[in-house]
Amino acid sequence: MKTPDIRRSVAPAPRLPEHDKLGRLVARSLGLDAAALQSGLTRAGLADLPDIVALRREHLQGAWDDGAYLRWRYRFGRDTGGFGDLWCLRAKGQLLAIIGVEELRAEHDGQTLAGGQVMDLLVRPEAQESGLGIWLNQAMLARHDFTLAVGANQNSAGIVRRMFEPLPPRLTFTHPLDLAPFVHRRWPLVARLPLVTRVANGGLALWRLALRRHRPRDLTLESATRLDPALVVPTAGDSSVRLRHDSAYLQQRLLHNPRRPLVMRLARREGAVVGLIAWSTQTDHQGRPELHVIDWHHDNDATLLGLLHDAVREAAASRCSCVRLTLQDATAQRVAKRAGFLPSRNDEGRLCGVQSRDPALAARLAQARWSLTDASDDSDAL
């Protein structure tokens, strides 16, 4: 099931009631008392999993979720596995809503912050107009220094716009490899002349060769199915907010996802790992393959340039029509343009935001430079 691509809004968010006051309003709307609402919110355990899967299957238009995926994503009371907790709200003998939180560690202005990325919010339709979704987000915010929202569907986009401070937009960049899909969309009559497309694609191939002349020569690139636990993940100074992910996290997050298999490549310089990149191959609405870059880490701009060239080379060898990635940081956008990536037309950016109980911290984080990749997007099932 594909999640609608909800774009970013810059409209100011109206002031929201405080958590306790909103809780009383939500409880009254649902025919509960405030104490029952508060006590009904608990961390999910494995015993809750069947009800959670049933709720998602019922309200997400298909049986695309399964227990294996949810156990990979959340702890469910276990000591190992998962990246955070899924919370359940039970009331009147039924599972009324769920919300997930992945735990984050971020560095900003010399501070280490304990954050949480909210995801997988689902409220039963009969409770969606009660304010319950906002109350659940406030409950998660009360447990963390800050919360982050990356991506949204039609039901949660309004909550993100109302509750979160907007972050710099994540913009789509594309490196075209086959102009046929583009020509079919823009000029269907020209698409009937295959010679035109072949000539244009020949020009693209020459353009790629010219671009590759500027790729770094001191990098060695190799496929990887396992990361050394002692690996220090390379980082560059592209952002002033840095999410700290170690090799164990990346191993589980990028290579063990049961729903979206990824390919990983490592970049070495003089034997040391200085970068990595992970991508998936997906299809467009007409079944044509596209390579989507999901995540990357690098020590400097030259390494990122080499990683992007490697993704383009692999996509061309696999006969993909294009390579796509979303970029938030201006420095990474400039590097991508050097590798032949073009910004999408009329792209306002994908919705993402940050919030904190401390208004000053929320303002600082909203104004900071971020470099979020699709590994932070709530779209593993796509």
Of residues 332 and 205, the one with the higher pLDDT is 332
Q: Of 118, 142, 166, which residue constitutes the final position of a domain?
A: 166
Q: In this structure, are 182 and 138 located in the same domain?
A: no
| Domain assignment present for 378 | no
- Averaged pLDDT, 345-367: 90
The model's confidence at residue 180, banded by pLDDT at 50, 70 and 90, is confident
| Domain assignment present for 360 | no
Query: DSSP assignment, residue 287?
Result: S
Q: In this structure, are 281 and 155 located in the same domain?
A: no
| Domain assignment present for 367 | no
Going by C-alpha positions, the residue among 153, 103, 101 that lies closest to residue 128 is 153
Number of domains in the chain: 2
Q: What is the pLDDT of residue 203?
A: 77
Q: In this structure, are 175 and 211 located in the same domain?
A: yes
- Averaged pLDDT, 251-271: 93
- Averaged pLDDT, 12-40: 86
- Averaged pLDDT, 279-291: 89
Residue 82 has pLDDT above 60, yes or no: yes
Q: In this structure, are 112 and 140 located in the same domain?
A: yes
How far the first Cα of the chain sits from its last, in Å, is 7
Q: In this structure, are 281 and 161 located in the same domain?
A: no
Q: In this structure, are 153 and 179 located in the same domain?
A: no
| Domain assignment present for 10 | no
Q: What is the pLDDT of residue 274?
A: 97
Residues 6+ apart with CB under 8 A from 127: 30, 96, 97
| Domain assignment present for 5 | no
- Averaged pLDDT, 301-318: 96
Q: What is the pLDDT of residue 87?
A: 98
Q: In this structure, are 250 and 161 located in the same domain?
A: no
Q: What is the pLDDT of residue 159?
A: 86
| Domain assignment present for 224 | yes
% of the chain exceeding 70 in pLDDT = 88
- Averaged pLDDT, 353-374: 93
Q: In this structure, are 321 and 186 located in the same domain?
A: yes
Q: What is the pLDDT of residue 261?
A: 84
Q: Of 137, 166, 195, which residue constitutes the final position of a domain?
A: 166
Q: In this structure, are 149 and 185 located in the same domain?
A: no
Q: What is the pLDDT of residue 207?
A: 80
Cα distance between residue 321 and residue 174, in whole Å: 10
Q: In this structure, are 140 and 43 located in the same domain?
A: yes
What are the tokens at 106?
Answer: 């971020």
Going by C-alpha positions, the residue among 279, 59, 67, 284 that lies closest to residue 153 is 59
Q: Which domain holds residue 205?
A: 171-348
In a 3-state reduction of DSSP, which class is residue 43? strand
Q: In this structure, are 332 and 287 located in the same domain?
A: yes
Q: What is the pLDDT of residue 209?
A: 79
Q: What is the pLDDT of residue 183?
A: 60
Q: What is the pLDDT of residue 188?
A: 63
Q: In this structure, are 203 and 278 located in the same domain?
A: yes
Q: What is the pLDDT of residue 8?
A: 45
**For all residues of the chain together, what is the average pLDDT?**
87
- Within 10 angstroms of residue 242's Cβ, the number of other Cβ atoms is 18
Q: What CATH code is carried by the domain that includes residue 202?
A: 3.40.630.30
